[in-house]
Structure 1
Amino acid sequence: MRTFATKYLLALCVALAGATTFPVWAEESEQDAAAAQTDNATIDQTKGIDQSVDYASLRHFGPWDDRNYELTAADIALLPKDDEYRRGIPAFFKIERRKEGIAEGFPIGEHYPRELDKDFLIRYGGLLQDGVLHRRGLGIYYHPDPANPPPPVIYTSDPIVQAMPFSVPVNGETAMAIGDNETSIKYNPVNPSVVIAGSNGPGGQSQNYSVDGGVTWFSAGVLPSTCCDPAMEWSADGTVAYAATLPSSGGLRAGLFRSTNGGQSWGSVILVSTGGSDKEWIHVDKSPSSPYLENVYLTWHQGNVMFFSRSTDKGVTWSTPISFSSAARGIGSDITTDAAGNIYYIWPSSQAATANIYMVKSTDGGLTFGAPVIVQPLFDVFDFPIPSMESRRAFIYIAADTDRSGGPNDGRIYAAYTALHPSSGGTTATNHAWIQVAYSDDGGATWALTTTPHSEADIATIDRYHPWLEVDTQGAVHIGFYDTRNSTNRTGVDFYYNYSVDGGTTWLDETRVSAATSVNITNGQEWGDYNGIAAGPTEAIMSWTDNRVVGGSPLQKSYVGRVQNMAASPTFLMSGSPLNQSVCAPTATPVALTPVGINIGAVSGYNTPVNLGFGPGLPAGFTGFFSVTPVIPPGSSQADLTVNNVAAPGLNALTLRGSSGGIDKDLALNVTVATALPGASNLTAPANNAVNVSATPTFTWTASAQSASYLIE
């Protein structure tokens, strides 16, 4: 089979002699001409994944289809020059069928199967031209939604390697509603339909939210008196969203804002650091087995000295900041936690004398940390120039996460970063950027490198940098990064994606997510310092700074792209609302709570019935039932509960549990109960009738049992 593929590759080389792009064919049959008259699609050469291909020339093989943009010269080499013309069949599908035949051991020769057209319509619905799916025949019945065309499945160029897709389906990309550069993005851990994203903007940190999994975006405005460096996060129960940033308060400080309505609006600023700060990042411990579940951790640097603070009340109050050894100075850090709640705080050195990546570990929820451990040595520190980042320079940053899947690599810690390749020459033109991923299987004591998550053979001609990494609930490692392969002289970028299901031992071939190449701009930001990625149960969503040409000029915008999570296993999702309630129950007569709507979603076609219940049981004074149980995904139910004065006054934590096929998913329902009228409260300071009191006094008073709030008049 290798000989078969090589035969066509040699034929292509002869045809390409003296040419720089794949040629437009001189010969054109009458069928070609007739097809061209009905094929009015616009072909944008810049969208092609391989700029050595003349994509317009692919009309020689069949009518245009936008999925042809994913073809490379090696793919097209499989098509004979005098390939049989089949009406309505585009080049990408012919190549897909030829690769399938080779992989199955029965290569297609001169003639295609007679039912090739029906096979195409069943798989893809019809021709996709200018982004519009033109369904016909069987395609109308197999693909009823023309707004969501099925993605192509193109097989690896060398059929000997493997008969599997070389790229994952790209489900779409779009600009955020507001924002320019340096982006961060996060799914709600309980309801992945809700997504938040932050970005630098001209007036401060811009906030965005989505309620359909990132397909459409809405603006939540600009956080007041802020600068930049957005970092998004959620509480483990999905009730609180966090937007870490650098507020301006007599200089830049590390701080954050909180949202309790899915990122649609944000509360007041909470300052954490007390000195000039930079490059803050935020992390929440979401492991149910952790004794520090819901702890919030914030990192930043002051004068290159790394700082840390924690919150144990969902970001409302914060501990006194602590700092780490000034000998291991750095800029740009990340934190990850394992199932036991151990904290791994990782950053790259900013000093040439200590050119390493460092990690400190805490086993007590951030009260104390051990001595710094070297993760990996660096060939350079802080940043370095390359043709696409010659002025701002490619930033050496860390993106860390931990496998908490319970699978074969459970507990493995990952740290991805941009590195200067050892073959670099020290100048913009001779430097080369690549991405490294380090890992540890012994709690951070020792570290090694995974295989490189992109090709290494083309280091001299392609730069990859600014990665972000996340591990999904199945243990798959997802990574997104900039890639210069589609630009001239390494000056522009596209955003690419890759993933590994074996802990980084092997990676799938890179997938282009951005639909257009961004050109180099010199606005001081270029592409900022970092990007974002979040791995959900059905899709991986990523965000990046985009400088594509719009209306003849480059326009900087924050973009979001979505790809199918091919590593996801079938399971169900469970969400509910409202999950925070207050009720007065002063007598033995039961008082009804607001009904809790329960939604059960399906991942990868999961349809095993889900039994609903209260685990491990209801607290004293509570009774409840579900309107429907079991629920066959996708479906819905309602939790109806009552409470009386037998309940413990104050906060009662209830658990709504869904169980199916050995899988349990819990929702935390927090009910604050008052069983009696609150008593009197007395002012303690300032005293009544006091004089010479500040215009902004601090009031204190004696607490009143079972009070929910106080009104000062």
Structure 2
Amino acid sequence: MCSNRTAIAGLLMLCLVLATPLIPAQATSGAQSVRLSGTNPFAGCTADDSPGETYTPGSESEPALAVHPYNPLVMAVAWRQDLWDTGSSRGIVVASTKNGGATWSNTVLPGVSTCSGGEGRATNPWIHFTADGILHATVTIFGGSRSVIAASRSADGGLTWSAPAELAGDPMPRFFSDKQMITSDPRSPHKLFAVWNRRDREQDVHDLMLAQSDDGGRTWSQARPIYRPATQGAGTIGSQLAVLPGGDLAVVFVENDHPIGGGPWPPDIPEQVRAIRSTDRGATWSEPVTVAGYTAAQPLLPGTPWVPVIAPGTVADIGVDRRSGEIYAVWADATLSTSLSAIALSSSADGGRTWSAPRKINLTPDSPAFGVGQAFLPQVEVAGNGTVGISYHDFRRNTTGPGATDVWLATCKTKRCSAPGAAWSERHLAGPFDLDRAPHWFGGPYIGSYIPLAHTRTDFALAPVVTNTDADNVTDVHFVSTTRHRSSTTP
């Protein structure tokens, strides 16, 4: 908790934020997008000050987006506020709307960081609406000497929250948990699943962890490992769990040599997108199948000697067609374009047992290596009518500087969108903005490991992070919906 007058004033300001009435969304690019983040709720808190470490005030990153499954007017976006130079953030902010985005209300997620009434730093926000309208949030917390996965629930769409429940807590620095996500069984809103990667640095092993709830997130089962790579040092990064139409579970993840929690770096381990399945509600799991072997893309800002885009597609994303059961997976791949950074798509029609050969799916005009044809940060969703949507960033309109970036949405309405020859169209969603103005982390600009895409019955919504020219407000989270922006182009 905050322990001095300045910090207490900061917490009082948080209370005011919690009570802020709905405010009109501010348009920033015609009707194309609206800005969600505004006044920094942690500006008055000093309780998390740390000698030798700094954070970027006014920086938002790695948002999450959720749409009510039966009422698309109800949505929420969560993001990390104020990025520390060593990772994590000063807290999590949630914006919510009940009128399709006409007005939004911002709330601090309580109890997940020192400046929000808890202890530590928060990262990896993930939110999800269950069929009964409850909004669930999960967060990774690095508090004191522990690495914690926590979950909260909101019965009013994100305006007020329960105290966070601890799904797992391990001593640091030996253990390090990362990239948790939460989802539910669409047929049973009380059945929730959370997955994440946990590394044991002492043994240099990674486990894909699972926790379950049968009472709508009020209580959780003890977390347990459901997969451990056979190769020493191999990690499971960015696990994504989906409940298939028949009730089976599928988890897709990247397996590689990424040492979450810091070094030492293991020997070079080839990147693979892999999948495991459960046919008994998570009690037992299949052996992994390899969706694809690939080379991870590492895009650079065009025209620079070496300014990398940090985490440009570390997390493979999945979407499920709830009519057919088809699973779609996307990731950033260096082998499918001369630019060395393209969006790969593969799909499975048999519950994740077998997968189609990956193919480049972004419509970015190609370029020489590390040129303006690089695409990155992919996400995939399938609308209720079966339309597949894939969002991504690229540099194709890079005429104002090396970091000029746009966000696009490619869509397909055929039955097998991963098949060669499937017809895809594209529309512009956001930008251009100068990615190089984002906080630099590990030598390059960083806005998150994912930029979330969500769907309704016929449309899509995105919550991109957009940079600003204001040094005191370097980034903002925006909201874009295809119900607001109908024009379609295919450059």
TM-score w.r.t. length of structure 2: 0.72
- The equivalent position to 2:375 in structure 1, one of 434, 442, 464, is 464
The residue aligned with 2:292 is 376
User: What SS does structure 1 have at the residue aligned with 2:465?
Assistant: strand
Distance in structure 1 (CA, Å) of the matches to 2:310 and 2:189: 38
User: What SS does structure 2 have at the residue aligned with 1:473?
Assistant: coil
Q: Does 1:493 align with 2:388?
A: no
Q: In 2, are the aligned partners of 1:493 and 1:517 still within 8 Å (CA)?
A: yes
Tell me the amino acid that sits aligned with residue 37 of structure 2.
A
- The equivalent position to 1:177 in structure 2, one of 37, 41, 45, is 37
Question: Structure 1 residues 492 and 393, CA, compared in 2 at 3 Å: closer, same or farther?
Answer: farther
The residue aligned with 2:97 is 210
Shift of 1:296: 0.8
Greater strand share, structure number: 2
Tell me the amino acid that sits aligned with residue 420 of structure 1.
A
The residue aligned with 1:229 is 124
Q: In 2, are the aligned partners of 1:537 and 1:565 still within 8 Å (CA)?
A: no
Question: Structure 1 residues 518 and 548, CA, compared in 2 at 3 Å: closer, same or farther?
Answer: farther
- The equivalent position to 2:328 in structure 1, one of 414, 431, 444, is 414
Q: In 1, are the aligned partners of 2:364 and 2:373 still within 8 Å (CA)?
A: no
The residue aligned with 2:250 is 344
Query: What does the per-residue CA deviation read over 1:246-280, in whole Å, with 9 as the maximum and x for residues that have no partner?
Result: 13444231221100011111110111122231111
- The equivalent position to 2:162 in structure 1, one of 261, 267, 286, is 267
Tell me the amino acid that sits aligned with residue 290 of structure 2.
I
Shift of 1:494: 1.5
Question: Structure 1 residues 395 and 516, CA, compared in 2 at 3 Å: closer, same or farther?
Answer: closer
Q: In 2, are the aligned partners of 1:227 and 1:248 still within 8 Å (CA)?
A: yes
1:648-687 aligned within 5 A: none
Shift of 1:459: 4.3
The residue aligned with 2:139 is 245
Q: In 1, are the aligned partners of 2:298 and 2:309 still within 8 Å (CA)?
A: no
Tell me the amino acid that sits aligned with residue 283 of structure 1.
T
User: What SS does structure 1 have at the residue aligned with 2:237?
Assistant: coil
- The equivalent position to 1:312 in structure 2, one of 214, 217, 233, is 214
Shift of 1:204: 0.9
Tell me the amino acid that sits aligned with residue 152 of structure 2.
F
Query: What does the per-residue CA deviation read over 1:175-234, in whole Å, with 9 as the maximum and x for residues that have no partner?
Result: 113571111111111221110111010231111111221233220124332511111101
The residue aligned with 1:578 is none
Distance in structure 1 (CA, Å) of the matches to 2:285 and 2:122: 30
Q: Does 1:437 align with 2:331?
A: no
Q: In 2, are the aligned partners of 1:207 and 1:223 still within 8 Å (CA)?
A: no
Tell me the amino acid that sits aligned with residue 412 of structure 2.
S
Question: Structure 1 residues 222 and 293, CA, compared in 2 at 3 Å: closer, same or farther?
Answer: closer
The residue aligned with 1:446 is 354
Query: What does the per-residue CA deviation read over 1:12-47, in whole Å, with 9 as the maximum and x for residues that have no partner?
Result: xxxxxxxxxxxxxxxxxxxxxxxxxxxxxxxxxxxx
Paired residues, number:
383
Tell me the amino acid that sits aligned with residue 227 of structure 1.
A
Identity among equivalent pairs (%)? 21
1:48-127 aligned within 5 A: none
Larger radius of gyration: 1
Q: In 1, are the aligned partners of 2:31 and 2:485 still within 8 Å (CA)?
A: no
- The equivalent position to 1:190 in structure 2, one of 70, 73, 90, is 70
- Across the aligned residues of Structure 1 and Structure 2, the Cα RMSD in angstroms comes to 2.8
Question: Structure 1 residues 185 and 421, CA, compared in 2 at 3 Å: closer, same or farther?
Answer: same
1:35-50 aligned within 5 A: none
Tell me the amino acid that sits aligned with residue 461 of structure 2.
I
Distance in structure 2 (CA, Å) of the matches to 1:393 and 1:189: 29
**Unpaired segments of 5 or more residues in structure 1?**
1-146, 148-169, 425-430, 568-713
Distance in structure 1 (CA, Å) of the matches to 2:288 and 2:100: 39
Distance in structure 1 (CA, Å) of the matches to 2:429 and 2:153: 31
Distance in structure 2 (CA, Å) of the matches to 1:310 and 1:541: 28
Q: In 2, are the aligned partners of 1:172 and 1:215 still within 8 Å (CA)?
A: no
Shift of 1:498: 1.5
Shift of 1:519: 3.4
Distance in structure 1 (CA, Å) of the matches to 2:222 and 2:125: 22
Distance in structure 2 (CA, Å) of the matches to 1:230 and 1:277: 13
Shift of 1:538: 5.1
The residue aligned with 2:385 is 474
Shift of 1:490: 5.0
1:389-428 aligned within 5 A: 390=308, 392-405=310-323, 410-421=324-335
The residue aligned with 1:511 is 427
Q: In 1, are the aligned partners of 2:32 and 2:485 still within 8 Å (CA)?
A: no
Shift of 1:396: 2.0
Query: What does the per-residue CA deviation read over 1:396-433, in whole Å, with 9 as the maximum and x for residues that have no partner?
Result: 2111121112xxxx011111111223566xxxxxx631
**Unpaired segments of 5 or more residues in structure 2?**
1-24, 39-58, 83-89, 114-120, 171-175, 200-205, 258-267, 487-491
- The equivalent position to 1:296 in structure 2, one of 192, 195, 205, is 192
Distance in structure 2 (CA, Å) of the matches to 1:541 and 1:451: 24
User: What SS does structure 2 have at the residue aligned with 1:520?
Assistant: helix
Tell me the amino acid that sits aligned with residue 483 of structure 2.
Q
User: What SS does structure 2 have at the residue aligned with 1:185?
Assistant: strand
Query: What does the per-residue CA deviation read over 1:656-704, in whole Å, with 9 as the maximum and x for residues that have no partner?
Result: xxxxxxxxxxxxxxxxxxxxxxxxxxxxxxxxxxxxxxxxxxxxxxxxx
Shift of 1:479: 1.7
The residue aligned with 1:283 is 183
Question: Structure 1 residues 322 and 491, CA, compared in 2 at 3 Å: closer, same or farther?
Answer: same
Shift of 1:376: 0.8
Query: What does the per-residue CA deviation read over 1:585-606, in whole Å, with 9 as the maximum and x for residues that have no partner?
Result: xxxxxxxxxxxxxxxxxxxxxx
Query: What does the per-residue CA deviation read over 1:107-138, in whole Å, with 9 as the maximum and x for residues that have no partner?
Result: xxxxxxxxxxxxxxxxxxxxxxxxxxxxxxxx
The residue aligned with 2:467 is 547
Structure with the larger RCO, 1 or 2 (CA within 8 Å, 6+ apart): 2
Distance in structure 2 (CA, Å) of the matches to 1:334 and 1:280: 9
Worse-matched range after superposition: 191-200 or 296-305: 296-305
Distance in structure 2 (CA, Å) of the matches to 1:507 and 1:258: 40
Distance in structure 1 (CA, Å) of the matches to 2:366 and 2:309: 24
Tell me the amino acid that sits aligned with residue 454 of structure 1.
N
Distance in structure 2 (CA, Å) of the matches to 1:214 and 1:535: 14
Q: In 2, are the aligned partners of 1:386 and 1:432 still within 8 Å (CA)?
A: no
Q: In 1, are the aligned partners of 2:403 and 2:433 still within 8 Å (CA)?
A: no
Q: In 2, are the aligned partners of 1:438 and 1:447 still within 8 Å (CA)?
A: yes
Distance in structure 2 (CA, Å) of the matches to 1:361 and 1:459: 38
Distance in structure 2 (CA, Å) of the matches to 1:171 and 1:474: 25
The residue aligned with 2:22 is none
